[in-house]
Amino acid sequence: MKEPRTDGRTGAGRTPRTDVPAGTGQTPRTDGRTGRRGRGRAPQPYTRLTHPLVRDARDEPFRRAGWDEALDRVARELARARGAFGMFSCARATNEMNYVAQKFARVVMGTNNVDSCNRTCHAPSVAGLSAAFGSGGGTSSYEEIEHTDVILMWGSNARFAHPIFFQHVLKGIRGGARMYAVDPRRTSTAEWAESWLGLDVGTDIPLAHAIGREIIHAGLVNEAFVARATSGFEEYRALVEPWTLSLAQKVTGVPARAIRELAHAYARAERAQLCWTLGITEHHNGTDNVRALINLSLLTGHVGRYGAGLQPLRGQNNVQGGGDMGAIPNRLPGFQDILDPVAREKFESAWGAPVEPHYGLNLTEMFEAMEEGTLRAVYCIGENPAQSEADSEQALRRLRALDFLVVQDIFLTLTAEQAHVVLPATAGWAETEGTTTNSERRVQRVRRAVVPPGEAREDIDILCDLAARLGHQWKYADAEAVWNELRSLSPDHHGMTYARLEEHQGIQWPCPSPDRLEPGFLHGRLWESDPGLRGRRAPFGIVRHDPPVDLTDDAYPIRLTTGRRLDSYNTGVQSGGFASPLRRGEYIELSPEDAERYGVVVGERVQVASRRGAVVAPVWVDPALRPGLAFMTMHFPDEVDTNQLTIEANCPIAGTAEFKASAIRIDKLPVATVVR
């Protein structure tokens, strides 16, 4: 079998970019076309944005501008855009920046239309956990995975996507914990598992229900816990009753005995952790999937105790914090409901401005509103939706149709290439003071360690400068001042001063008191013997199997799932283009059986088509894939734009698209080319 080249380039016949002179900062194309960046082109590193860029119309080239000119222009356009405005906030930037961004949307622009990439990612986890427990955070701390007996790693390739957390997992395994991996691919994570359950894409609910039924039938339910801490058990029992092991085997493709073994291991464990990620959430019924998993913890009492809990491993360094700071359309900072008049009034009096009394549009709905023409201006901070949205051709078209787009980023992304104004920001990591919040809800300080390039300014400064131009004078001496304003408004963060964050090397929320630390796990109250202190019961989720929207058939016979590799990051803006012995570019990964069936070899370029679009990609053969299943990443869109294939079928509760299930076919090219 021919090995592809490992120098990070995908080789032959590609011309390098000529429009980016080395070492001068990103110089945009000046040919007036903002067309699809480098389609089929060899990857090049992005260089940092160093100066504001402006243009009057999208068909003109950008020109460098001073900050005053650029911000005056943005202020003018935004003043006109009230009522038709949306903001995308950055899950990589600090809590302080996200706090100011949502305040900008709510106070300056008078809208709750603010959201981030959490929507494409773990929004179903937040929605599912909130529905069950009233709070959207993961319930455990990282260290607990070292002190648990059974680990379910469900739809998560943590070995690649959460390598630091995975070190804790490995310590747990070394200490005797047994891990079960539930993933259609035998991933690098699964290699460490006691057992791999290779289910068909989109059959997680049948699998979870069969596990639940087996636990019930084997008499392994934690009855005391179910009776005092949950509601809806009888309905749940009826719901899962049809899901016998043999039916589940038929629907999921997982052998009945493997399902039974997992059910018994999980239910009998003294403590068990259930971790999940996008294999669960990135489906048209992502929130239902999450509820189906939470049900298992309710059945067994594996939640609300040290070492037993639920962990949606979050994606970006600060996607948890972005939501906590209110950069979502339905919550004010500190996860306080927009619909709660008491919460609203508190913020209105602190901010001296009214807060819209209804939910705003989420990211997905904002894209729909662009289509309908009701959203005309977007302020995009540190997101690259032109390449990260499902059905990216459609997303790009919608962005291009906006009356005004301002992008604030550290690189000139494809999204930025569609903008009227591009503002160069400092990186939230290493160039900015502030805090971020990780998956275990731990708020930690980040510091400026390097000098930002050129005229790049901190995201917060840019926003405050714009707010001033639009009539709102916000005086923050530094990031700490922003944080202290947030602390005064969010009870969960109230006790976390910068000094305490330093002293404890990060503190987990909730932290209401300045002189006490709470336990690192949530929902201990479920175990409270005093019913008065136990709080609300956690309801079982009554959710039903609903297969992927994009059906496979004779025309599109292969199930494509998309995801990540260890060596690259998201749309590749921050990790692409650099030669690395670790990295190979984009491939369509097939099982050995399918490669043989379609008569293709490693490195051969083929056309990959879905019902949305088509791309050309070289083939890779991966024995971790089962026949009928293909895999691509989202990391090299400049080279092969995977999201032209994916379907915008969204979870109606969370708005997350079904990135994990498209139907495709592959066709040999008329003239065979093999990448060397």
Ligand X SMILES: Nc1nc2c(c(=O)[nH]1)N[C@H]1C(S)=C(S)[C@@H](COP(=O)(O)OP(=O)(O)OC[C@H]3O[C@@H](n4cnc5c(=O)[nH]c(N)nc54)[C@H](O)[C@@H]3O)O[C@H]1N2
Mark residues 264-303: x for contact with Mo ion by CB under 5 A, - for none: ----------------------------------------
Q: How far is the CB of 88 from ligand X (least distance, A)?
A: 8
Site for ligand X in 1-60 (CB under 6 A): none
Q: How far is the CB of 479 from ligand X (least distance, A)?
A: 13
Mark residues 194-213: x for contact with ligand X by CB under 6 A, - for none: -------xx-x---------
Q: Which is nearer to Mo ion, 315 or 618 (CB)?
A: 315
Site for ligand X in 354-413 (CB under 6 A): 381-385, 388, 408-411, 413
Tally of CB atoms within 10 A around 146: 18
Grouping H, G, I as helix, E, B as strand and the rest as coil, residue 532 is helix
Q: Which two structure tokens, joined as six digits, stand for 651?
A: 């979870």
Q: Which is nearer to ligand X, 201 or 538 (CB)?
A: 201
Pairing of strands 309-312, 178-182: unpaired
Q: Does 634 bind ligand X (CB under 6 A)?
A: yes
Grouping H, G, I as helix, E, B as strand and the rest as coil, residue 404 is strand
C-alpha to C-alpha distances, 501 to 429, 450, 512, nearest whole angstrom: 17, 22, 14
Q: Does 639 bind ligand X (CB under 6 A)?
A: no
Contact yes or no for 447/420 (Cβ under 8 A): no
The entry of ligand X, Mo ion, none near residue 587 (CB within 5 to 8 angstroms by kind) is none
What does DSSP assign to residue 104?
I
Strands of 272-366 (E only): list them: 272-276, 309-312, 331-332, 336-337
Q: Which is nearer to Mo ion, 121 or 625 (CB)?
A: 121
Reduced to 3 DSSP states, what percent helix, strand and coil does the chain have, rounded to the nearest 5? 35, 15, 50
Q: How far is the CB of 78 from Mo ion (least distance, A)?
A: 28
Q: Does 93 bind ligand X (CB under 6 A)?
A: yes
Q: Which of 42, 107, 108, 121 binds Mo ion (CB under 5 A)?
A: 121
Q: Which two structure tokens, joined as six digits, stand for 160?
A: 């690649």
For residues 272 and 180, what is the distance between their CA atoms, to the nearest angstrom? 11
For residues 553 and 110, what is the distance between their CA atoms, to the nearest angstrom? 47
Considering only the stretches 119-127, 323-331, 462-470, 651-659, report the one whose residues sit in contact with Mo ion under the rule CB under 5 A: 119-127
Site for ligand X in 562-591 (CB under 6 A): 562-564, 566, 568-571, 573-574
Lookup result for tokens 């038709």 = 84
Considering only the stretches 118-126, 146-154, 398-406, 493-501, report the one whose residues sit in contact with Mo ion under the rule CB under 5 A: 118-126
Q: Does 317 bind ligand X (CB under 6 A)?
A: no
Considering only the stretches 65-73, 179-187, 219-227, 329-337, report the one whose residues sit in contact with ligand X under the rule CB under 6 A: 179-187
Q: CA 214, 215, 216, 219 torsion: positive or negative?
A: positive
Q: Which is nearer to ligand X, 151 or 226 (CB)?
A: 151
Q: Which of 425, 463, 482, 558 binds ligand X (CB under 6 A)?
A: 425
Q: Does 243 bind ligand X (CB under 6 A)?
A: no
For residues 555 and 201, what is the distance between their CA atoms, to the nearest angstrom? 19
What does DSSP assign to residue 106?
I
How many chain residues interact with Mo ion (CB under 5 A)? 2
Q: Which is nearer to ligand X, 355 or 405 (CB)?
A: 405
Considering only the stretches 166-174, 307-315, 323-331, 473-481, report the one whose residues sit in contact with Mo ion under the rule CB under 5 A: 307-315
**For residue 219, what are the contacts with CB-CB under 8 A and spacing of at least 6?**
none
How many chain residues interact with ligand X (CB under 6 A)? 60
Contact yes or no for 233/226 (Cβ under 8 A): yes
Lookup result for tokens 């008078």 = 110
Q: CA 231, 333, 419, 572 torsion: positive or negative?
A: negative
Q: Does 638 bind ligand X (CB under 6 A)?
A: no
Contact yes or no for 119/329 (Cβ under 8 A): no
Q: Which of 36, 168, 660, 665 binds ligand X (CB under 6 A)?
A: 660
Q: CA 63, 66, 72, 78 torsion: positive or negative?
A: positive
**For residue 418, what are the contacts with CB-CB under 8 A and spacing of at least 6?**
34, 58, 386, 396, 399, 400, 405, 407
Q: Does 427 bind ligand X (CB under 6 A)?
A: yes
Considering only the stretches 20-28, 106-114, 150-158, 581-589, report the one whose residues sit in contact with ligand X under the rule CB under 6 A: 150-158
Report which residue's Cβ sits closest to Mo ion: 315
H or E element in which residue 260 lies: helix 256-268
Q: Does 184 bind ligand X (CB under 6 A)?
A: yes
Footprint of Mo ion on this chain (CB under 5 A)?
A: 121, 315
Footprint of ligand X on this chain (CB under 6 A)?
A: 90, 92-93, 117, 120-121, 154-158, 160-161, 182-185, 187, 201-202, 204, 277-280, 282, 315-316, 381-385, 388, 408-411, 413, 425, 427-428, 459, 561-564, 566, 568-571, 573-574, 634, 642-643, 646, 659-660
